[in-house]
Amino acid sequence: MRLLRSALVPMVALAACWLVLGASAVAGAVTVFAVAAAAGYALEFTVWPAQQALDGTVSRLGGGSGLRLLSLDALLLVVAARAGRFPVWTLAVLAALLAVGGLLRRRYLLAAGNEFDRGQLRWRNLDVALPAQRTAGVRAPILVDGFAVAGVLAGRWGAGTAGALAGAVVMVLLVALLPRLRPAWFGYLHAPAADQTRAALAAALARLAPRTVVHVAAPAAATYTLGTWLPTLDELTPRPLVLVREPVHLATLAGTGLPAVCIPLSADIEACLPASVRLALYPVHAARNNHIIRLMGIRDVFIGHGVADADSDANPVARAFDEVWVAGTHSRQQYRRAGVRDDQLRIVGRPQLSQLRAALASRPASAGVRTVLYAPTWEGGLPARHPHRSSLPTMGARIVELIAALPHTRLIFAPHPATGSSRRSAGRAAAALRAQVQRLGAPHQVVRGPAAVLEAIAAADVVITDVCTVLTDAVVAGRPCVVTDPAGLPVEEFRARYPSAAAARVLPPDCAGLTALLDEPAIAVPGLADHLVAGAGAQADPAAAFRAALAAAAGAPAGAEAGIAVDAEQGGDA
């Protein structure tokens, strides 16, 4: 509150200056424009630098330094035009010079420490003691614009066209020369030096001394792979460090207590990752996983983010890890066929069953309305090799149409978060179905995200899905399942290829008989749930085996962790 009160006056004054600049530019009042510009420069130089703590807030409100500079350039052109002393060609040249100056200025600001282009380090839930910073908003760049303003004023008050153009030329030349001047002259423009920030982050991580790090390097569409694990990770003691390579993933961590860092550059990882780390967990395959795998003394474990028997789920790339932790015997068999050694495989169950069980326990009464969940998977990373992975592009519209026409039926549509990331047509199809379901109104709904899908499985009376993790979770939850077959395989061949579909009714590409399939009871296949997810039928904590494996792999004693019979599963296939 004290910070807000101390910044209120300069914030209001700065806003007033820009309002006056705008009004005087439109009116062509060059003298008023000059006075307002001088007042604005004074604030930028003297008062505003003391309020750096609020600079980010002002930027989010639309008043960032970049916008202020751009606005000044635009208003300068407006006042020059309204003053009526310059021909059109002169204004065109002035605009071109301002544009060149803006590009050069942007290049300089990026070189001075732009957070994305410089691979800036970011963090959450971590106490990093940064050195004192001498950032001063837009002091030097806005000073440069003053030469262009002076040129326009000179043109208005006697120097004519030559004065205006001379001012603009001086502005461009000065901006071009700024990076080559002695850094001490313009040190207040620079963000904290990269080595200072790196050292401060390394010191904070050394104090934290994490033994386990969770590494995620993936595009924005794959953020869900981290979200799948967050509830489990957030309950661990001590909590692991989450290391992401793209800043977009940090938003997923909101609401958790997990310490997290975004380190885009591999050199910064080597500089910042503390020696205490003994275990690295990987929920998704990525080439940049190598930036951790290559570091000595760290045990690398692929944990994945789901349980399915789709063609591409057991990736041979997993052979690069020290261990691959899987949910059950079925996944273990898949990885064996992919060339992963038996001694690399460890069955740890599926910790996410804790969330599913909680959702099942709190499931409300149906109130005479049948709930049908349609949760298609995405097109996959190699849609050309696996063209029938998702039912959404070819069957989705018909499925939604048929369910929406049924009386006393509620539809929950849960498209995969990555839909459209490999094939735009799939993304367009998903968007069209989302809009269609939303137009249907209550009680139909669209949900998205790992937690919401687990809740939808618990709420559903029938689940329609593809060969994916949703099918596995629905089988474990005991839900009647309808699995799509976009390729149109014979039913016997389909079930032989995808064992997880043994407890599901198979829906052909034309969706024939869907309404009848919805009325069929669940198919009982003894032992299937435990084959897919070890301990699915037990009442033990679903995360206990995972925690025990984590403690052992990180070098700490497992203690008296109670869990499922993992060792028995390790001995052979069920």
pLDDT at residue 468 tops 90: yes
| Six-digit token string for 539 | 């009442």
- pLDDT at position 163 is 56
Higher pLDDT, 347 or 95: 347
Q: Are strands 462-465 and 370-375 parallel, antiparallel or unpaired?
A: parallel
- pLDDT at position 555 is 78
pLDDT at residue 318 tops 70: yes
- Distance of CA 218 to CAs 166, 215, 265, 427, Å? 49, 10, 14, 18
Q: Note if the bond before 443 is cis, omega within 30 degrees.
A: yes
| Six-digit token string for 179 | 């990076």
Higher pLDDT, 150 or 384: 384
Task: Compute the average pLDDT of residues 399-408.
Answer: 96
- pLDDT at position 312 is 62
- pLDDT at position 96 is 64
pLDDT tens for each residue of 489-537 = 999 999 999 989 999 999 999 999 999 999 988 888 999 999 999 988 7
| Six-digit token string for 35 | 């006075």
124: nearest Cα among 281, 255, 212, 238: 255
- pLDDT at position 44 is 65
- pLDDT at position 281 is 98
- Mean pLDDT score of the chain, rounded to an integer? 80
- pLDDT at position 192 is 56
CA distance 472 to 478: 10
Residues 6+ apart with CB under 8 A from 324: 301, 302, 304, 318, 335, 340, 344, 345, 346
Task: Compute the average pLDDT of residues 544-549.
Answer: 94
- pLDDT at position 165 is 60
- For the ranges 129-133, 247-251, 294-298, the lowest mean pLDDT is seen at 129-133
pLDDT at residue 326 tops 70: yes
Contact present, 169 and 93 (Cβ < 8 Å): no
CA distance 203 to 209: 10
Tokens 């202020």, located at residue: 68
- For the ranges 109-113, 252-256, 329-333, 413-417, the lowest mean pLDDT is seen at 109-113
- pLDDT at position 330 is 93
- pLDDT at position 108 is 45
What is the percent of the chain with per-residue pLDDT over 70, rounded to a whole number? Answer: 72
CA distance 263 to 266: 8
- pLDDT at position 384 is 78
- Distance of CA 273 to CAs 121, 201, 211, 215, Å? 12, 9, 11, 12
Contact present, 435 and 394 (Cβ < 8 Å): no
- pLDDT at position 34 is 78
- Distance of CA 301 to CAs 58, 90, 273, 279, Å? 43, 65, 17, 7
- pLDDT at position 173 is 58
Segments of 447-537 assigned E as strands: 462-465, 481-484, 504-507
Q: For residue 48, with 0-12 CB atoms within 10 Å meaning exposed, 13-18 middle and 19 or more buried, which class applies?
A: buried
- pLDDT at position 405 is 95
pLDDT at residue 568 tops 50: no
Q: What is the pTM of this model?
A: 0.71
Our CA dihedral for 79, 83, 84, 88, rounded to 10 degrees, sits at -20
pLDDT tens for each residue of 51-104 = 444 454 454 455 555 566 667 767 777 877 776 655 555 556 566 656 655 555
Common-topology check for domains 197-353 and 366-532: yes
CA distance 94 to 127: 48
Contact present, 548 and 556 (Cβ < 8 Å): no
- pLDDT at position 18 is 78
Compute the half-sphere exposure of residue 86: CA atoms within 13 Å on the CB side of its CA: 31
**Phi, psi torsion values for 81, nearest 5 degrees:** -70, -40
177: confidence class by pLDDT, cuts 50, 70, 90: low
pLDDT at residue 202 tops 70: yes
Residues 6+ apart with CB under 8 A from 105: 69, 141, 144, 175
Amino acid letter, residue 469: T
Residues in the chain: 574
Question: Residue 255: how many CB atoms within 10 A of its CB?
Answer: 8
What is the percent of the chain with per-residue pLDDT over 90, rounded to a whole number? Answer: 52
Instruction: Among 263-272, 310-319, 549-558, name the most confident range.
Output: 263-272
Indicate the CATH number for domain 366-532.
3.40.50.2000
pLDDT tens for each residue of 3-32 = 444 556 767 777 788 788 889 888 888 778
- For the ranges 35-44, 368-377, 423-432, 462-471, the lowest mean pLDDT is seen at 35-44
155: confidence class by pLDDT, cuts 50, 70, 90: low
Domain extents in the chain: 2-195, 197-353, 366-532
CATH code matching the domain that covers 197-353, chosen among 3.40.50.2000, 3.60.110.10, 3.90.740.10, 3.40.50.300 = 3.40.50.2000
Largest CA distance in the chain: 95
pLDDT at residue 574 tops 60: no
pLDDT at residue 355 tops 90: yes
77: nearest Cα among 53, 49, 96, 59: 96
pLDDT tens for each residue of 378-392 = 998 877 788 889 999
- pLDDT at position 121 is 86
- For the ranges 163-172, 182-191, 218-227, 343-352, the lowest mean pLDDT is seen at 182-191
204: confidence class by pLDDT, cuts 50, 70, 90: very high
Contact present, 210 and 142 (Cβ < 8 Å): no
